Structure 1
Amino acid sequence: MSRIKTIILVHGFWADASCYREVIPRLHSTGYQVMAVQNPLTSLEDDIAATQRVLDRLNQPCILVGHSWGGFVITEVGLDPRVVGLVYLAGLAPDIDESMLDLMSRYGQPSPHFQEEAGLIWISPQGIREVLAQDLSDQQQALLYATQTPPAAAITTAKAKQPAWHHKPSWYLVTQADQAMPPPLQAELAQRMKAQTMMVSSGHFPMLSHPMTVVNIIAAAVLNS
C-alpha cells in the first residue's frame, strides 16, 4: 500500500475548485483524502499562498495536481517537503525566470476571445465554446461561463523562481484536442521535465471530459512517488 493518501488539486484561469467536481468523488471512492485549492487568481504570490495554506494543514505526504495555470502554481509550491510528486493537467511548467507569457508566446498570440477590463481577463461565451470547452455539453459550457473567475492580467508576466520539477518526480497529461494550451507546448514541457506522460483526446478541461483518465494519472503518481 502506498503511504500517500492525500491529493491537492489546483485549478487554472477562469475556473474555480469546482472544476474538479467529476474527479473528487472518484478519488474519494478509492480512499484518498482530497483538498481543492480556491485560487484567488489575483497574483502569483496570492495563488502560492492559497496552496501553501492548504499544505500547512497537512502532516503527511501528498501529490500536487495543477491544471493549466495551476501547473505554474504547483511548480512554485512543490519544493515543500510534504510534496512527493507533481501532476500536470495541460499545465504550465515554467523554468527559472520564465513567465506564462514567455511560454505561450512560442505558439501564437492570445485568443481574441480573451477580454481585458480593469486589469482582469474575462473570456467570452464564444471563447468558452471554441477555446476552453469545445468537447463539453452546452450545459457545462454555460456553467463555466457563468462561474468564471477572471485572472489578473499581471499574472501572465510573473516569473518562476523555484521550479520544483527539477527536484520532484512529475507526470503530465497532454490534452491533444486543446485549443487553449497548445499540445506541442504541453509535449515540450513534459519532455523538458522528463515527466511520465499520458495522452488524452480532450479539450482544455480533461477533469470534466475524461475524469477517469485524470484519476488514473494521479493514481500512477501515487504508486510511483
Structure 2
Amino acid sequence: MSQVQTIVLVHGFWTDASSYSEIILALLAEGYEVIAVQNPLTSLADDVAATKRALARIKGSCILVGHSWGGMVITEAGNDERVSGLVYIAALAPDAGESMMDLLSQYEAPSASQHFQEQDGFIWISKEGIQRTFADDLSLEQSALIYATQTAPSTALLTAKVESPAWKNKPSWYIVASNDQAVSPDFQRDTAKRIGATTVVVESSHVAMMSHAKEVLDVIRAAAASN
C-alpha cells in the first residue's frame, strides 16, 4: 500500500455519506482508514468546516474525494496540508471567485432541473426526478432510499464562491459520468481538462459511486498509489 492510508469522502446534493457505502466497505477491507463527511449543505463555509473537522482527525496524508457539489467543498478544503490529491466524481471544480451558477449556466440546463422543488430556502428533488434523471441506473429500491434520506441543499449554495482552489497545487483525478442528466457530461469533460486532471469516463448516471463503484474505486486506488 502507498503512504496514503486515509480516504476522505465528501457527498453532494440530495445524498448523504451513505451514498459511498460500497466504496467505504471495499476500502476498509483493503486496509485504508475512511471518513465519510456528512455535509449540512447549509453553506459552503459550513460544508468546508465539516470536511476540515474530518481532516483534523487523520494521521498522515489522505486522498480527498468529492461528488457533485462535494467538488466545490474539496476544492476549498483540499488546501489542507494533509491532502495529497483530489478525486472529483461528476463534480464541480471552480476557479477562484466562481460559483456553481457561474459554471453551470454556460451549459444546457439538465433534465433533472424540472424535478426540483424549492421550499423555505432549500431545494428538494422529487422521487420521479431521482428515478428518471439523478440515479436512473440504480434499482427502484435504491432510488427510493435516496429520496427518503435526501439532504436538501440551501439555495445559498448556488451562488457561493471558492476563494483558493486546491487543484492548482494538488494532483487531481476526474471521473466523467457520460450518461449524467444532472450535471452536463460536456461540463464535466471541460472541467477535467481545465484543471489538468487524470480523467476516466464511466457510462454512468450522476451517482457513479453507487452504480459504478468498481470504476470509482480503481480511480481512488490510483490516486492513493501515486502519492
User: Structure 1 length as normaliser, TM-score?
Assistant: 0.98
Q: Which residue of structure 2 lines up, in the alignment, with residue 118 of structure 1?
A: 120
Root mean square deviation of aligned Cα:
0.8
Question: Which digits, 9 at most, give the CA deviation of each residue in 1:85-126, with x for residues without a partner?
Answer: 000010100001110111111112361211111100000111
Moved more, 126-135 or 46-55: 126-135
Q: Which amino acid counterpart does residue 210 of structure 1 have in structure 2?
A: H
CA distance in 2 between partners of 1:81 and 1:209 (Å): 32
Matches within 5 A, 1:1-150: 1-109=1-109, 111-150=113-152
Tell me the equivalent position of 2:178.
Answer: 176
How far the C-alpha of 1:190 sits from its partner, in A, is 0.3
- Give the deviation of 1:25 after TM superposition: 0.7
Question: Given residue 146 of structure 2, which amino acid in structure 1 is its aligned partner?
Answer: L
Give the AA of the match of 1:159. K
Looking at structure 1, the residues matched to 119 and 65 of structure 2 have their Cα atoms a distance apart, in angstroms, of 30
| C-alpha distance in structure 1 between counterparts of 2:58 and 2:28, whole Å | 17
Shift of 1:58: 1.6
Which structure 1 residue ranges, 5 or more long, are not aligned? none
1:75 counterpart SS class: helix
CA distance in 1, matches of 2:28, 2:197: 25
Segments of structure 2 that go 5 or more residues without pairing to the other structure are none
Using the alignment, how far apart are the partners of 2:20 and 2:58 within structure 1? 20
| 1:72-95 CA-partner distances (Å, limit 9, x unpaired) | 100000110000000001010000
State the shift of 1:143 in Å: 0.3
Q: Structure 2 length normalisation: TM-score?
A: 0.97
Q: Distance in 2 between matches of 1:186 and 1:125?
A: 25
* Identity across matched positions, percent: 57
Task: Tell me, yes or no, if the aligned pair for 2:48 and 2:73 is still in contact at 8 Å.
Answer: yes
Quick one: which amino acid aligns to residue 180 of structure 2?
D
Deviations 1:131-157 (A, max 9, x none): 211110000010010110100001010
1:39-96 deviation line (CA, Å, top 9, x unaligned): 0000000000000000011231000000000011000001100000000010100001
Determine the structure 1 residue equivalent to 2:166. Answer: 164
Whole-Å separation in 2 of the counterparts to 1:184 and 1:134 = 19
